[in-house]
Structure 1
Amino acid sequence: MFACGILLELVLWIIAPGISAQRGATPPISDPAQALEETLTAACRHDEAAFANHLTSDNAQAYRALTQERRVALLKRFVLLEDPGKPLLSTLDGRNVVRCEATSVTSEMRFGATEMRENLAFIPVSVPEGVETQSVRFGLVRESGQWKLLSLGLLLLDIPALRRQWEESDLQARERSAIATLRKVSGALKSYQIAYGNLPETLEQLGPPTQDGASPEAAGLLDSAQAKGLAGGYRLRYAIVPVGEENESERNRAAGFSLAATPVVYGKDGRRSFFLDSGGTLRGADKNGAVATTDDPTVEGDETRH
């Protein structure tokens, strides 16, 4: 539903920025309503290049630096359309109306009267939804003769901050994925030990089976990447922890192990390093890319089971 989304979802994505001059080659737009109309039209079409041209310089630069997936995701949230839509422009009582028609959803944005304050302009936009109408106030700023999108409601659009939030979210997701992989590898090692009476010498022995089926050399307990010690942006280390049993068979069956995961590129793939023992205790800390050990604090909370 477009109405609730433009009022609720965008607010979650917007925080305060700095404003700087933008160098643009497009012809000046003297009417802020026309600029907003073109901005919403670009968002409707999922036209990334055109949308960037309607952002302030800092936001435009940060938007272009996003991955293509992230750029499209922002446009989707801007108009709440999963697929590119067809914009239809009209007027009502002398004011702009932008309709965006997608496969199964149509949104309509009706402009109110523009309020001017020197280099700032504010335009209320109403979005009919059944018998109800939601309203949101767009702010624009004049930069080098161009009107650029500045704010939604009382909050300023800050794509550089949004980019940092996304990067932090991705980093945390990779850390959670590394924890999940450690636990999966731990389970595979225990299964191998039960099946073959000892732990494998390397993780590669847990990898995909050959055409002849599972064997101690290719047990089929992990995928090929995990068997090579890779977990997304993390690198795994495995070590056997021997016990003091006199009987060799008992030693093999009772042996423990340790697993460690470190980010391949510290600060990008992850910050924390992790250590998991065969008893299931997970430890982790920001080690600046170094290997975690038994001296590091335990990792508490739900993330240890994700």
Structure 2
Amino acid sequence: MASTPRAARQTSRQISTDHEGFLRHRGFRWLKLSALLCLAALAGYVAADVEPRPNGGSWYGYTLGTIGAALILWLALLGIRKRAMTRGSWSLKAWTSAHVYLGLGLIVIATLHTGFQFGWNVHTLSFALMVLVIVSGIFGVVAYATLPAALSGNREEMTQGQMLEALKAVDRQLNDAAQPLSRDHADFVLSALGEGALSGGLWRRLSGNYRNSATQAAVDAFNRIHAAHSAEPAIQRVEALLQRRLAQLDRMRRHMRLKALLEVWLYVHVPATFALLAALTAHIISVFYYW
């Protein structure tokens, strides 16, 4: 049976929705709702008939504090929610969109809750941890919006395993090609072969700074050797293979750097979230204890 125009339109809308990113979900629905919530909180803060202005100890401060605490607890549930894949209004995409925009709105809610009063206490600690969680989350959103395309472009349809195999293949050719060389020249090659693609700590991987690369040093050395022995085929072949090895290393290092940037924010975001929940609990208990 041929599909009706209505069914075709529904299918088209469904495909469009399926390919829509979580930031643009349902025409920025959660951005609009978060903005409305912030505007309502600001309007209430301005209109509140309280002198001095509303703070955490006023009725309006308690109202915003309750809303903020409820939002924090709900936002923290995303990690559990990720384990369930569903469609519709409460799909994972919708939940993630709400997580991002309501998390940003929480800055306004929590700041108005404090009444712009800060000090060296558990209340300000809760606020600072909340800001840390939100800032790390913003980094994560930017990373997921920009890095996957760069990661895919760098790989050129190769998996990480295939890139490692390509490097090993160059190393085998390089080892064979270096056999006729003198000991001094072969030492440069051996030094390069001893350098792994994943060498270096987290900071080196994140920064992509490999200034002391043994392969780069070998390439530079063979550029000089080639200038003095340009007619020797063995020198030319080793030089070409070293340059291929360096290019493959650079690709793998870019791959590892992009992967690290894509994941490293979680090492701040997740622990800071648990610390925030602990500080928030202490904050709430202390408020009711001294009420």
* TM-score normalised by structure 1 residue count: 0.23
Greater percentage in strand: 1
Greater percentage in helix: 2
Greater RCO (CA < 8 Å, at least 6 residues apart): 2
